[in-house]
Structure formats: structure tokens, C-alpha cells
Structure 1
Amino acid sequence: MIGSYRIAKDGASVSTLGWTMAVLVAAGVCTAAAATSNDRLVEERFFEDRERGWHWYELMPVEEEESEEAVETEQATEQPQPESGEPAGPAPMSAEWIRQELPRLRDRAIDSPTERNVQAYFYAQRIMMDKAQVFSNMAQRVTTSDPLLDENLRLPFASAARAATLASAAEAKTGIVEELSEKAGLWVFFDETCEFCRQQLQPINRFAERHSMEMRIISRQGRQIAGVNRRVRVLPDTGQFENLGIDFTPAVMLVVPPEGFYIVSQGFIDYASLVDRLVGAAGHYGLIEKDKYLAARPTERGVIDASRLDNTETVDWSDSDSWVPFIQREITRVYGIGPTPNGGMR
């Protein structure tokens, strides 16, 4: 038993030794093969690059990371640049250029008032003023040569012609009031405690003297009022104040039977303003013809209501050559005039 054990143990030792020797031999063979392979690779590389000679001490180039400055420079170079001939900003001395530069030049001249800075600001301002003068001259030329743009067509500038036009308008207003007298009357709301009600009597009396329109004074207290023109009847308040919403006195209302009640004024009003407001109310509520109304108010002739343009034709609003003729036709329509065959105006 003991001998067997020793033999087995010695056998195991021998076996172990054999395996160890085998591993070492294999490793040596692999090492030798690897060394041979490396030597052969070096030899091949030497013969491939033999013209450079021996270069054991040559330093191989190291790839460095690009610096941030180089990357930014490259990116800036790659950004598209404006083509030659295209301005990077507004044209020099243009209105846009002046609008941008003049405040900057002014601030610079204020903060650093050197001769050069102040001179630069005033030269830029000079250009701006001269451009405005050139525009003004052309604007005057255009508006005076085009009757549709000339305000002289609406109301003459010359003193004599202007006076004649205004006199004619005053006559037209009188005619409108007389026309209203046939279908309407005036109610004047009066309160004895009102400071301005008694002062309102003078314009009311003057209106009664010049026009035939029926007039009534509605008195809150219901008593007779001294100094009233005998054509004007004074009536007590029987609910008119409350029903018609009269909160302030004196007040004047245009009454058109059976159901037309139009406030003309609340507060004191003089004679001329009373007549003018009556004309305005008549025109606004359609109580008179439009031609008569425009004759009484010449400054409203040719006024275009942009919200009511008769845009039944195709107009390119991005092209002034398309929409300017359209506006011209609209102005001639509201003026009641038009072009003649020879190109003039009727």
C-alpha cells in the first residue's frame, strides 16, 4: 500500500513535470515564432523604406487637437459672405441710414464733443434737412399739379374765393334748417336752478327770430320763463326729461315726428354752433340729400371712407401702379367728377 502510494505519487510528479515542460516548450516556440515574425516585419519595413537610412531617433509626428481659435477661425471662414456689390446695411445717406446713424452721431458728439464729432453730427443733420427740402419741393409740385390731391379743390386757399365758398356754405345751412322746419322742431330742456340755462335763452331767441322752425322749452319746474321770444312756447315737464334721458341742462333736441328724437347738444351752445349741429344731424340721420349736405360743409367733399371702398375690381395692393389708379377713380366718384375724353377734369 505504501509502495503503491509512493509510485502513484512519483507518477503524478512525473506527469506534472512533463506537462510543465510541455507548456514551457510551447511558450518558447510561440515566443520564437513571434520574435521571428517581428524581425521579419522590421526587416521588411527596413527594405521598404531603406532609402531613408537609419532613423531610430526620429520622432514620430504627434496629432494635436485643433485649438478653439483654429476651429472658430475655420467656422468664420466657412460662413457665407455677402456677395460683392450687395451692401451689408442701408445705403449711405439714405433715410434709413440717417435714421440709424443720426442718434448715434448725436450721442457721440454729446459724450465726446470734439470738433470732429460735432462736425460729423451736423453734416449728417444737414443731409437730412436737405433731403426733407427736396421731398417738400416735389410734394408741392405733385399736389398742386394733381387736382385730386390739391386741397384747393375742396376749399380754396385764396381769401376772396374762400370767403365766397364759406358764404355759399352759410346759405346752404340756412336752406337746410328751413327744409327741416317743414318736418321737425326743437325742444330745449330748461332748469331754473341751472346756471347756464338763462344764458341759453339768447341764442334760442336769435334762432327763433331767423328761422321758422317750431320750438318748445320744456321746463323742469313748469313755470313761465321771462325774456323768452313769444314764438317759443314753454311747457312743463311731463316725463320728457326721464323718458329721453336728459341728465344735463340746457339741452337741445331735434324732434322729427312721430319717433325721431336726436340730441343736438347738452350744455350751453351758441347760435352758429346750434345751426351747424342741426345740419350735421340732418346729414347723419338722412333727413336731407347728400348734395345739399356737402354744399353746407365743403370741407367734407371728396372724403373717402376707406372701410367702404367699392373694391369690386382686382387690385394688387403691393403694387402702387395698381392701387393708385383705383384710389384716383374712387376720389373722382366721391367728388362727383370724372375725366373727360381729352384727359382733363370735368
Structure 2
Amino acid sequence: MNRNAISLPIIMSLFLKASLAVGKDDAPEVSYFADKQRGWFWYEVLPDPVKKIQPEIQVDQEKTKPDSKPPRVVEADIAPQAQTAAEPQPLSSVWLKQNLEHYLNQAIDDPSPENVAAFYYLQRVMMDKAERFTHAARYVVMSDPQLDETVRRPLATYAANEANHQASVVAEQALKAIAAQAGILFFFRSDCPYCHVQAPILAMLENAYGFKIYPVSLDGLPMPNGFFSQFKRDNGQAAMLGVEQTPALFLMKPPKQIVPLAQGALSLEEVTGRILLAAKEAGWIDATQYQTTQGIRNTPMLLPAAGSISPAVTQDPLSLIQALQRSAHLGSTP
């Protein structure tokens, strides 16, 4: 037998096994017999083996946050803060607010003599504290005219009646002074029932203080009760002044000043009160005169400007009182 014929298959099988051993971890190789024109694999430059990509571990899970601390450290930081938070003194007003309800609930759930008595004793403490504060407050207020409200408006009946009398006198004078320079613009409709009852009130205002009434009919028709029969037809004035409801009243001071009073029916007292307020806001009467018409004595008001008192001053009661008193002396009345 020819030795070459026997050895050739053996050599080929060895080469094939070697080739399979080299590429067993890669994709299956193409058989030499199917691609024999390429020659043996040692004639080629084999590509670098593909590295298997390991899944990356999320960095966010491994990295510790810059501001984070181990639990023990965090607990160690919180513990001193909890200890430094000062508890209110027992039986202080803050302590009573926090604990009185607890003692009440305890007495309701377990109404033993001790629990019920403990609640009522604490309630007695709170009431006695309130009574002590009331006495001190009355003394402080009566000793300081800036805090005593009776200086501004007396409470005694005889004094209150006198204040009301003075207010009516000054108000009448002010209203007559306003009437000498301003009139009432009265918008109405012939079919408006509220206009029908407002007209007699305006007639009283005209007779008592001398206000000139300027009636304007929105529908061009007179009122059936005969009041203000000499009226003007609306020629766009109502729309210009924003009239939406009737009766509509405006305080008018020639040549161009017009101040709204109301869009709706008012009593005589309401009309005069609004006239005085509108005149004060328009500068036709001064603030002192207006305050007197309200039955209130003219006194300095505590109106400190924003930022005029520093935070350090508010920490000392005496300094705070002095700062507020200075602002009252420098302040103006409304």
C-alpha cells in the first residue's frame, strides 16, 4: 500500500482538529473544502479576538454622594440638635398651651381624682396668669395716652354723646363747605325702582346742605314721582364714567374733578359719610377735620415706616417702646 496515500488523510484530519480547537470559542469556521481557494488559515492574518463587553456597574450606585454621610454620622449630627432644642419651662404659657389638652384628655380617658384634679389645677394656673396680665395691661394702658383708646373715643355715655354732637357739627360745616364747590351727578332710569326711592334722599341732601343735584336720565324719560323733572339726557357720560347700575352717584367739582360715590341706593347717612370720605381723599378737607367728623379725637398714630426699626431694637422691649413712641410723634394722622 502506498504510504503517502495513507498519511495524507491522517495529516488532513490533524490539521482540521487543530483548526477547530483554535476557533471553538468563536463563530463556526467555514470548511476548507467549501472555501479551498483561500488556502490554509496560516496564510491569513486572523482578526483580533472580540473582547466580551462586561456590563458596566452604574456609577451612581457605587459613588457616594458628596454630601451624604453614613447613617451613624447623620444620627450623631441630629442628636445634638434635638438636645439643644430647649423645652419650655413647666407651667409657662407655652408649656400650658402644649400640655393642657394632654391633661384634659388624660382626665377624660381615666377620670381618677388625681387626673381630674391635675387638669383643673393647671387650668387654674392659666386663669390666674391671665388675670394677672389683665390687671397689668389695664394699668399700662391707663398710664399711657397713646395706648388708652378712651383718649381717641370716650366710652362714658355722656362723653360719647358729646363726641357725637361735636362730630355732627363739624360734619355739617364740612358738608356745606363741600357743597359750595361741588355737586352730585345723579344717573337714573325712569323704570328703576331704586332710583325712585333715591331721589327723595338727594332732595333732602340738597335742602340740608345746599348740594346742587345734576340728574341725568339714561333712557331719556323722567321719573314717575316727579323728582328732578329738569334732567339731562345721557350723551355718553354714563359710559365714560363706567356706570353699570342705577342709581349712580358721583361727586363732581368743576371743572374736571369727578369722584365716584356709589352705584346703588344709599341712605342719607351713607351718602354724607361717603361725601366726606371722598372729599378727604381728594384733598378738599384735611385729615384732622375728617377725623373729627367721625367722632374721634385727633391723636398721633403709630405708623412707623418700613425698615425704620432694626431687628436689634425689637429684641429689647424698652428700646422697642421708645422707637414706636418716636414714630408716633413723627407720624401724621390719616
TM-score (norm 1): 0.66
Distance 1:163 1:187, change over 3 A: same
User: Equivalent residue for 2:263?
Assistant: 266
User: Equivalent residue for 1:165?
Assistant: 163
- 1:145 corresponds to which letter in structure 2? S
Matched, 1:297 2:294: yes
SS of the residue corresponding to residue 301 of structure 2 reads coil
User: Equivalent residue for 1:154?
Assistant: 152
Q: How far apart are the structure 1 equivalents of 2:90 and 2:106?
A: 19
1:119-161 CA-to-partner distances (Å, cap 9, x unmatched) read 2112111111111111111111111121111011101111111
Distance 1:157 1:101, change over 3 A: same
Distance 1:170 1:318, change over 3 A: same
- 1:325 alignment partner, one of 308, 311, 322: 322
Say whether the 8 Å CA contact 1:252–1:264 is kept in structure 2: yes
Question: 1:306 Cα deviation (Å)?
Answer: 3.5
Distance 1:155 1:168, change over 3 A: same
- 2:292 corresponds to which letter in structure 1? A
Q: How far apart are the structure 2 equivalents of 1:124 and 1:314?
A: 35
User: Equivalent residue for 1:115?
Assistant: 113
Question: 1:317 Cα deviation (Å)?
Answer: 2.9
Q: How far apart are the structure 2 equivalents of 1:243 and 1:143?
A: 51
Distance 1:335 1:143, change over 3 A: farther
- 2:250 corresponds to which letter in structure 1? M
Question: 1:268 Cα deviation (Å)?
Answer: 1.2
Q: How far apart are the structure 2 equivalents of 1:209 and 1:187?
A: 16
Question: 1:254 Cα deviation (Å)?
Answer: 0.6
User: Equivalent residue for 1:235?
Assistant: 232
> What number of residue pairs does the alignment pair up?
258
Matched, 1:132 2:124: no
Question: 1:318 Cα deviation (Å)?
Answer: 2.6
- Structure 1 residues not aligned, in runs of 5+: 1-71, 337-346
With 201-210 and 107-116 compared, the bigger mean Cα shift is at 107-116
Counterparts of 1:1-346 in structure 2, within 5 Å, are 89-227=87-225, 233-299=230-296, 301-302=298-299, 304=301, 306=303, 308=305, 311=308, 316-334=313-331
SS of the residue corresponding to residue 269 of structure 1 reads coil
- 1:182 corresponds to which letter in structure 2? A
Q: What is the RMSD of the two structures over their aligned residues, measured on CA atoms?
A: 3.2
- Structure 2 residues not aligned, in runs of 5+: 1-71
Distance 1:239 1:317, change over 3 A: same
Distance 1:310 1:334, change over 3 A: farther
Distance 1:217 1:292, change over 3 A: same
Structure of greater Rg: 1
Q: How far apart are the structure 1 equivalents of 2:286 and 2:94?
A: 49
Question: 1:312 Cα deviation (Å)?
Answer: 9.3
The percent of aligned pairs where both chains have the same amino acid is 27
With 290-299 and 304-313 compared, the bigger mean Cα shift is at 304-313
With 309-318 and 87-96 compared, the bigger mean Cα shift is at 309-318
Q: How far apart are the structure 2 equivalents of 1:274 and 1:228?
A: 21
Question: 1:276 Cα deviation (Å)?
Answer: 0.8
Q: How far apart are the structure 2 equivalents of 1:260 and 1:115?
A: 75
Distance 1:312 1:107, change over 3 A: closer
